[in-house]
Structure 1
Amino acid sequence: MARTDRRQRGANRGTQNASAADPTIVIGIDFGTTFSGVAWARSSRPEQINIITSWKSRFNFNSDKEKVPTVISREEKEGAPLWGYVAPLGSASLQWFKLCLLDKEDIPEYQRRSEHLRTAIKSLKKSNTHVVDVISDYLRELWQYTISCIERAEGASIVEVSAFKVVVTLPAIWPAYAQFRMKEAIEKAGILNIRGVFDTELEFISEPEAAALAALQDLSDRADMVPGDHFVVCDAGGGTVDVITYTIVSKTPMRVKESVRGDGKLCGATFVDERFRDLLRQKIPLSTWERLGEDGIARLMNNEWENGIKPQFSNDGRKWSIQAPVSSRKRDHEQYISSDISIHNHEIVNVFQPITSQVVELVAAQVNEVKRRYKKQPKFVILVGGFGRCHYLYNCLVESLRGKIEILQSSGARPWTAVCRGAAIRGLEQSDGATESAICSRIARASYGTMCNVIPWSEKDHSIQDREWCPIARVYMAADQASWFLRIGETITVGKSIELGFSQDFESPASEIVTNLIYSNSFQPSERCDETVKELCQLRWSRIPKFDDLPTWMNNKGRVIRRLSYVIKMTSNGVSLDFEISHDDKIVASKNVAADYSESGTAAHRHAAQLGEDNSGTYVPPGKGLGGWDDEFSDE
């Protein structure tokens, strides 16, 4: 059967990449739901990874922390926005907006009711702002501050002549479109602006994989780890919790492969914070709560919870006491006095338990899958991320696994900075041409492919719904079929490419050629582009072969048809997917071609957008104002 490409579109300038001999500064950015972190290193000193600290702050005890709040205030009419620890607490600032990158249908229904998420969406609507623009504003400030810190440490002259390699992390459970939205925010933030001798290179890496790269440094000298052993990395952050399992391939050098397909949920510390806020609401009189307002409540949460109970709690029976203002009548007027509010141990347990139980379920599922597939247990579960520092979460995992598997939880800032450090490590791997990645292979979390037509249509192999007359070939074809490069659950070796051949027929020259790339999260990816198949991106060819040079054939009406044959090559690199399209061994489209992401609709819905009989039509997806949250969002 012949496979013909259906529709297509996109284009982008190339970058001048630095060679291994050129000075390179690698910058790892962990853009988080509640906190963000940055690590950086020079390629000439890969062993010295630096963490950005010394943040500007309006409160004590925050400036030297290894991360900065993912908070920004757009209230300022003039000058730069206030962000991080300087941003005002409460309603004057935007928070938790990272979650708004996801379309509504990709957030579990019970979490759509999250007060934090609802507040973020309402703030975006009130300001009539797209989430991509808010993220770009925040990243711009974070980037400018990062560069100023690097210049202070290394000197502006070194920074000027160095290439930049930027590695940005994303939750592994996020759908593919989120990467395109993040890239747009990064570009708008000016991070990829032309500078000096070299352009800035950008790569994405999944958060748990970045955490694993950081953890590997700590495992390399362990005598109790041998090839064939498994370990689970649990990256528990503010919004998402990702788990991933690796097998040791070799120790010198340290090489691992993903052995169980990773998993994750939206069950991070943000949802614990929300439950504590609800507990405070029950403890504080309603009149006082209303008088405090969002600013006062945010200050109370920061002082008593974020920097008080939350990092210390270990379910040791302790009774907690916090100071909160309460109103009282004194003679003829009302005044506020500070009052100690008691919070019992079991109340804090009730705050944590519904969220930590979801994390325990994720880890247990990975452990059980290792036992099922390999007939052995993992050696360790490694906790990283901000939530990964939680003493209570550690205790829950120890109790759940009943001491059969060790839980490793580093002290200090190492768990909190694991993701940004791992992002820097990935960039350093690729800045040194002699260094191979420590991760040899990965397991696909989704299926990736391209939309195509198959000629001829077969009653045995195809659905009657897809039977469509092809006026060029003069036969019935199976329209809008899915041709998969990689199926969910399959293993792909790092650096290994997958190639598929296609052809497209023309009666007249085409003004443009566009290729549709698709993905599916279904465990059994469909062979046709049904509702489970979604658009990944569209690539417009940068060079169209000469029409008169194409080989010919004649259909049954005696019309001369030109056939364009080409190869699509896909290379998977964790979160990133690199595509190359070649004709006659010449690349006509590649990863440097601009990708226009679709914010809505499935491949099946796009069938109605076809323009013209030669399949060279294009489709422009409708935009959405809030990164996938439609205008019908309400307070239901």
Structure 2
Amino acid sequence: MAYVSDNSRISKNRWGYQVEAGMIAYSWTKLLLDQGTRITKYDDAALETASKTGILQLPEGKTAVDVVADYLSEVYKHIINTISKQITEETLKITPLEFWFTVPAIWSDKAQSATRAAAQRAGFGGSFGRRVNDKIFLISEPEAAAITALKKYTSSSMGGSVNVGDGVLVCDCGGGTVDITTYLVNQVLPTLKFEELCTGIGGKCGSTAVDRNFYKLMSNRFGDVFDNLPMKRKSPGSEFMRKFEVIKRDFGHSDEETTFELPLIMILWDPDPKYFDEEERLVIISSDDLRAIFDPVVEQILSLVRQQIIDARNDAGKDIINRIILVGGFGDSEYLRKSFQSSFASNGKITITVPDSPQAAIVQGAALRGLEGLQSTTKRCRRHYGFSWGMLFRYGIDDEANSYIHPFTGEKMTRGRMKWMIAKGDKYTYNYTNSVSITWSYYEGGKLNHSLQFYACDQKAAPEREDDNNVYEVGDIIIDFTNVHLAIFDSKITNGMKLYRLDYELHVVFGAQEGVLKFKATSQGQTIGQTSINFNTVKYY
């Protein structure tokens, strides 16, 4: 996105290919939607550096959701204009539309919610009282890619057909993220049926990490002269980076050792002619340079795949993966494909395939999900989810520092123990709902908004206590009892004040078709109040 406020020569905001070299623009903003996700060992370590170079930056006064909403509003206008040319504006007005957004499977719940919020603000899904029957759905990118690829390889023998019992690993290598999910094919005819075989994994180590390594190389080689260049000369969309994009996409097709030239206006004192042509103002990089830029990212991706193969073997009790499908923008990289071929296909047991237009495979799968209802019959939960609980005190086990007396029952309790609702790796289906009974001690006259912390853990084994370093807060669930008739609940007088024991059930929908966590509170068979979640906004990078 390029804004008028930053670019005096434009009269309205520019987006996509309208953004020309030299404009101040904001790129890779999508990654900023997921700042609440902790960096893992598979993530790109250069994210921290990139966030300080002006690339993962935001305009003054705008959030990541603001910028993404601005971008998506342009996409929305383009979609509506295109459809109205085909079916007339009158027909479009009375035709409900479904919008399927693909999101990285590794994304936090907050990031998925932020995506949905940005889409709604952009006009999708019947915003601002218009087109109220339109709907927004989210689908994970590897599942969307699997729908496209499995449909193709079960209905066509091109590239070898997929059969019942096959384990298919889908590696979605995008710009910012890499998602890996393995599926077990359960049925081919009359309809395709498949399920998640084991818990997927991923990291923020997509093709933009190659760009960040390239920036790092330029910084190491040319120092402050490169670092202090105006962003319009070196940012994504600049002539310099457009040339690098061409080189990056073509790398791997030839084994010939060669050099590449990139135009960049830069004044250097006594430059090394091996790296910079001062007369023509050209940066020179070699095949060895490209390998040094690519290899750390490729190795991160290969490590993820190796781990997923081990997880699938452990879950199935045997070697079950016999096909790896590469999709996503970076999935089209010949250098990446050759690395996969030498790492996983040399024994002849695993086939590596790249569908036509691997980047389009993801949006095609999202469309097939909406049109034909194709989906994974079961999913594997990516993390543990649950609540911090007050439970009866266990003498000799629980710490006295965590003890308290329950105000209503008078029993000795301990705070901070976890009640996990669903475990990492558990299978669940669409609209899978888990419920938990909760008691809230409420003194008359206090606020009737009840806040409940919702926690998660990405480790394999879920800790017992909330204060474990691996447990983190997803967000606060806000339950509003304002319109609830309190007389239906037990009460007593304590210290001259009326104390109510508010009992309710909290229902958490993990497999909601909308693609985000959903919550509902009920009491005595009735829905009580409004239940929403305020997502945690801690910044980790």
**CA distance 1:113–1:256, shift in 2 (3 Å):** closer
Say whether the 8 Å CA contact 1:324–1:341 is kept in structure 2.
yes
Match of 1:350, as an amino acid? Answer: A
Match of 1:107, as an amino acid? Answer: I
* 1:62-101 map, 5 Å: 74-76=5-7, 80-89=12-21, 92-101=24-33
2:333 is matched with which residue? 390
State the Cα distance separating 1:353 from its structure 2 match: 0.9
Pick from 357, 367, 384 the counterpart of residue 447 of structure 1: 384
**CA distance 1:290–1:111, shift in 2 (3 Å):** closer
1:42 is matched with which residue? none
Say whether 1:351 aligns with 2:288.
Answer: no
Q: Spell out, residue by residue over 1:277-304, the C-alpha distance to the aligned partner (whole angstroms, 9 max, x if none).
A: 45566788997x6897443445343442
**CA distance 1:558–1:300, shift in 2 (3 Å):** closer
* 1:451-600 map, 5 Å: 451-454=388-391, 456-459=392-395, 462-506=398-442, 508=444, 511-516=447-452, 517-530=454-467, 531=469, 532-541=471-480, 544-550=483-489, 552=490, 562-573=500-511, 575-588=515-528, 593-600=531-538
State the Cα distance separating 1:95 from its structure 2 match: 1.1
**CA distance 1:312–1:143, shift in 2 (3 Å):** same
2:272 is matched with which residue? none
2:186 is matched with which residue? 249
Q: Spell out, residue by residue over 1:599-631, the C-alpha distance to the aligned partner (whole angstroms, 9 max, x if none).
A: 13xxxxxxxxxxxxxxxxxxxxxxxxxxx37xx
Say whether the 8 Å CA contact 1:229–1:379 is kept in structure 2.
yes
State the Cα distance separating 1:261 from its structure 2 match: 0.8
State the Cα distance separating 1:569 from its structure 2 match: 2.2
- What is the CA–CA distance in structure 2 between the aligned matches of 1:364 and 1:251, rounded to whole Å? 27
- What is the CA–CA distance in structure 1 between the aligned matches of 2:259 and 2:76, rounded to whole Å? 39
State the Cα distance separating 1:571 from its structure 2 match: 2.5
Secondary structure of the structure 2 residue equivalent to 1:439 = coil
**CA distance 1:477–1:296, shift in 2 (3 Å):** same
> Higher mean Cα deviation, 379-388 or 207-216?
207-216
State the Cα distance separating 1:559 from its structure 2 match: 8.9
Secondary structure of the structure 2 residue equivalent to 1:379 = strand
Say whether the 8 Å CA contact 1:495–1:571 is kept in structure 2.
yes
- What is the CA–CA distance in structure 1 between the aligned matches of 2:89 and 2:306, rounded to whole Å? 49
Say whether the 8 Å CA contact 2:444–2:497 is kept in structure 1.
no
Q: Spell out, residue by residue over 1:157-184, the C-alpha distance to the aligned partner (whole angstroms, 9 max, x if none).
A: 2221122322222222222222233333
Q: TM-score, normalised by structure 2?
A: 0.84
Match of 1:492, as an amino acid? Answer: Y
Pick from 125, 140, 147 the counterpart of residue 206 of structure 1: 140
Gaps (5+ residues) in structure 2? Answer: 269-276
- What is the CA–CA distance in structure 1 between the aligned matches of 2:483 and 2:398, rounded to whole Å? 31
State the Cα distance separating 1:113 from its structure 2 match: 5.4
Say whether the 8 Å CA contact 2:149–2:355 is kept in structure 1.
no
**CA distance 1:501–1:294, shift in 2 (3 Å):** closer
- What is the CA–CA distance in structure 1 between the aligned matches of 2:461 and 2:220, rounded to whole Å? 47
- What is the CA–CA distance in structure 1 between the aligned matches of 2:437 and 2:197, rounded to whole Å? 30
* 1:353-368 map, 5 Å: 353-368=295-310
Say whether the 8 Å CA contact 1:91–1:295 is kept in structure 2.
yes
- What is the CA–CA distance in structure 2 between the aligned matches of 1:308 and 1:276, rounded to whole Å? 12
Say whether the 8 Å CA contact 1:472–1:507 is kept in structure 2.
no
1:235 is matched with which residue? 172
State the Cα distance separating 1:395 from its structure 2 match: 0.2
Pick from 142, 150, 154 the counterpart of residue 87 of structure 2: 154
State the Cα distance separating 1:188 from its structure 2 match: 3.1
- What is the CA–CA distance in structure 1 between the aligned matches of 2:116 and 2:22, rounded to whole Å? 28
* 1:310-459 map, 5 Å: 310-314=249-253, 316-322=255-261, 324=263, 337-338=279-280, 343-374=285-316, 375-401=318-344, 402=346, 403-411=348-356, 414-428=357-371, 435=373, 437-454=374-391, 456-459=392-395
> Higher mean Cα deviation, 316-325 or 81-90?
316-325
Match of 2:187, as an amino acid? Answer: S
Q: Spell out, residue by residue over 1:249-285, the C-alpha distance to the aligned partner (whole angstroms, 9 max, x if none).
A: 1112111111111111111111112333455667889
Match of 1:236, as an amino acid? Answer: C
Secondary structure of the structure 1 residue equivalent to 2:106 = coil
> Higher mean Cα deviation, 262-271 or 126-135?
126-135
1:269 is matched with which residue? 207
Q: Spell out, residue by residue over 1:560-604, the C-alpha distance to the aligned partner (whole angstroms, 9 max, x if none).
A: 8644332222222275222222222222367xx44322213xxxx
Gaps (5+ residues) in structure 1? Answer: 1-69, 330-334, 430-434, 601-627
- What is the CA–CA distance in structure 2 between the aligned matches of 1:209 and 1:119, rounded to whole Å? 33
Say whether the 8 Å CA contact 1:315–1:349 is kept in structure 2.
no
2:38 is matched with which residue? 106
Aligned sequence identity (%): 22
Q: TM-score, normalised by structure 1?
A: 0.72
State the Cα distance separating 1:342 from its structure 2 match: 5.6
**CA distance 1:342–1:555, shift in 2 (3 Å):** closer
Say whether the 8 Å CA contact 2:171–2:327 is kept in structure 1.
yes
- What is the CA–CA distance in structure 2 between the aligned matches of 1:137 and 1:513, rounded to whole Å? 33
Q: Give the length in aligned residue pairs.
A: 515
Say whether the 8 Å CA contact 2:109–2:516 is kept in structure 1.
no
Say whether the 8 Å CA contact 2:2–2:13 is kept in structure 1.
no
**CA distance 1:138–1:463, shift in 2 (3 Å):** farther
> Higher mean Cα deviation, 160-169 or 193-202?
193-202
Say whether the 8 Å CA contact 2:51–2:57 is kept in structure 1.
no
Q: Spell out, residue by residue over 1:314-337, the C-alpha distance to the aligned partner (whole angstroms, 9 max, x if none).
A: 3512424436367899xxxxx985
Say whether the 8 Å CA contact 1:73–1:87 is kept in structure 2.
no
> Higher mean Cα deviation, 100-109 or 464-473?
100-109
Secondary structure of the structure 2 residue equivalent to 1:94 = coil
1:9 is matched with which residue? none
Say whether 1:180 aligns with 2:113.
Answer: yes
* 1:298-309 map, 5 Å: 298=235, 299-309=238-248
Match of 2:301, as an amino acid? Answer: V
1:57 is matched with which residue? none
- What is the CA–CA distance in structure 1 between the aligned matches of 2:37 and 2:448, rounded to whole Å? 34
- What is the CA–CA distance in structure 1 between the aligned matches of 2:199 and 2:210, rounded to whole Å? 27
State the Cα distance separating 1:246 from its structure 2 match: 0.6
Say whether 1:118 aligns with 2:52.
Answer: yes
> Higher mean Cα deviation, 260-269 or 82-91?
82-91
State the Cα distance separating 1:439 from its structure 2 match: 0.7
Say whether the 8 Å CA contact 1:260–1:443 is kept in structure 2.
yes
> Higher mean Cα deviation, 79-88 or 536-545?
536-545
- What is the CA–CA distance in structure 1 between the aligned matches of 2:75 and 2:252, rounded to whole Å? 31
**CA distance 1:71–1:451, shift in 2 (3 Å):** farther
* 1:35-46 map, 5 Å: none
**CA distance 1:480–1:89, shift in 2 (3 Å):** farther
- What is the CA–CA distance in structure 1 between the aligned matches of 2:69 and 2:99, rounded to whole Å? 15
**CA distance 1:540–1:326, shift in 2 (3 Å):** closer
Pick from 149, 163, 166 the counterpart of residue 99 of structure 2: 166
State the Cα distance separating 1:556 from its structure 2 match: 9.6
